[in-house]
Structure 1
Amino acid sequence: MKTLVIVSHPYPDRSNAIKSLENIVQGLPGVTVRNLESLYGDDMTQFDVAAEQAAYEGVERVIFMFPIHWFNLTPMLKAYLNAVWSYGWAFGPEGIALKNKEMLVITTAGATQFTYSKDGLINSTIDEVLTPMKSSALYVGMTYAEPIAFYEAMAPSVEKLNKFKQVIHERLAD
C-alpha cells in the first residue's frame, strides 16, 4: 500500500522515539516520509502548500507520526493541517483529494498508559485525546484506523524500540 508519512516533533533535537519510528518507516517499500521540521524548521507559515498537497497524490494511506504535545497535536502539525488541508482541496464542493484514503496516527507519549485511561490522571484515553484527528479524517472522507500509541517513550530502551519496530512492521504489512 503506497503510504505518505507526515512526521512532526516540536523538539527534534531531543526526539528519541519519534526519530527512531521515522527511521523504521523510512526504509519500507512504498513509503514516502515528509518531516515537517526538517523541511520547514520552526517556521509554521512557510509551507509549500502545492508540494505538500502533491505528496498525497496516489497514496492510499496517510500516517501522522508525532508525540502527544500537551494532550494535543504538535504546533507544527496543527499549522500544517490548517494550511494544507484547504477548502476545495480536502473538503468542500470539489474537495476529494483525501477521500477514501486511510489515516493512521502513530504517536508517542511520555506518560504511562494508565495516565491515558479513565482512571488515570487525565481521565481520558489516547483515543479521546486523538478525537480531533479522527474527526478531521471522517470530515474529509478518509477512513480512520485505530491509532498506534507508544507510552513511556521519553527515553526508550533498545528492547522497547525493538517492540515499537515490530508493531510498526506488523501494522504496515496490512
Structure 2
Amino acid sequence: MKTLVIVSHPYPEQSKAIKTLEAAVKDLPQVTVRNLESLYGSNTSGFDVAAEQAAYEGVDRVVYMFPVHWFNLTPMLKAYLNEVWTYGWAFGPNGKALQGKEMLVVTTTGASEFTYSAAGLVQSTIEEVLTPMKASALYVGMQYGSPLAMYEAMNASDEQVSQFRQRLSEHLSTAIAA
C-alpha cells in the first residue's frame, strides 16, 4: 500500500517521540515522508502547493503524524490543510484528489490517557479532540481510520518510545485493511 506520511512538530528540536516515529517509517517500502517544518521551517504561508498536492498522487493511504498542540493540530499542519486542500482539488465539483484514500492520524500527547477521557481533566477522548481531522477526511471522501495516540510522550523513556514505534508498525500493517 503506497503511503504518504505528513509530519509536523512545532518544536522539532524538542521532539523525541515524533522524530523516532518518523524515522521508523522513513525507510519503509512504498512510504514517502514529508516533514513540514524540515521543508518550510515555520513559514505557514510558504507551501509549494503544487508539490504538496503532487505528493498525494498514486498513494492509497495518508498518515498525519503530529503532537496534539493545545488540543488541536499543530499550527503548521492546520495552515498546510488550509493551503493544500483546495477547492477543485480536494473538494468541490471536480475535487476528488483525496477521494477513497485512507487517512490515519498518529499523534502524541504530553498528558495521560486518563486526561483524555470523559472523567479526565479535558473531559474529552482523543477521538473527540481529533474530530476536525475525522470531519475533514469524511468531507473530502477519505476513509478515516482509528487514530493511534501515544500518551505521556513528552517525558517518555527510551523503552516507552520503542513501544510507541512498535505500536505504529503494528497499526500501519493492520489499519483500515482489517
The answer to whether the aligner puts 1:142 opposite 2:154 as a matched pair is no
* CA-CA distance at 1:156 after TM superposition: 1.7
Aligned counterpart, 2:54: 54
Instruction: Please name the residue that 1:14 is paired with.
Output: 14
Matches within 5 A, 1:148-159: 148-159=148-159
Task: Please list every run of 5 or more consecutive structure 1 residues that lacks an aligned counterpart in the other structure.
Answer: none
Counterparts of 1:21 and 1:107, CA distance in 2: 10
Q: For residue 4 of structure 1, what is the aligned residue in structure 2? A: 4
- Residue range with higher mean Cα deviation, 21-30 or 59-68: 21-30
Q: Which moved more, 1:137-146 or 1:24-33?
A: 24-33
Q: What TM-score does the superposition give when structure 2 sets the normalisation length?
A: 0.96
Please state whether the residue corresponding to 1:93 is helix, strand or coil: coil
Residues 17 and 155, structure 1, Cα contact 8 Å, conserved in 2: no
State the AA in 2 paired with 1:145.
G
Give matches, 1:1-174, under 5 Å: 1-174=1-174
- AA paired with 1:64? Y
C-alpha distance in 1 between matches for 2:72 and 2:80: 14
Q: Identity over aligned residues, as a percent?
A: 70
SS in 1 for 2:111: coil
Q: CA RMSD in A?
A: 0.6
Q: Which runs of 5+ in 2 are unaligned?
A: none
> Structure 1: which 4+ aligned runs deviate by more than 3 Å?
none
Q: Deviations over 1:33-52 (max 9, x none)?
A: 00000000000111000000
Distance 1:62 1:138 in 2: 13
State the alpha-carbon separation in 2 of the partners of residues 74 and 33 from structure 1: 17
Q: Which one is further off, 156-165 or 43-52?
A: 156-165
Give the total of aligned pairs: 174
Secondary structure, counterpart of 1:6 in structure 2? strand
Deviation at 1:155, TM superposition (A): 2.5
Q: What secondary structure does 1:103 align onto? A: strand
Structure 2 distance, partners of 1:145, 1:131, is 12
| Alpha-carbon distance between aligned partners in 2 of 1:125 and 1:171, rounded to the nearest angstrom | 19
Which amino acid counterpart does residue 84 of structure 1 have in structure 2?
V
Structure 1 contact 110–151 (Cα < 8 Å) conserved? yes
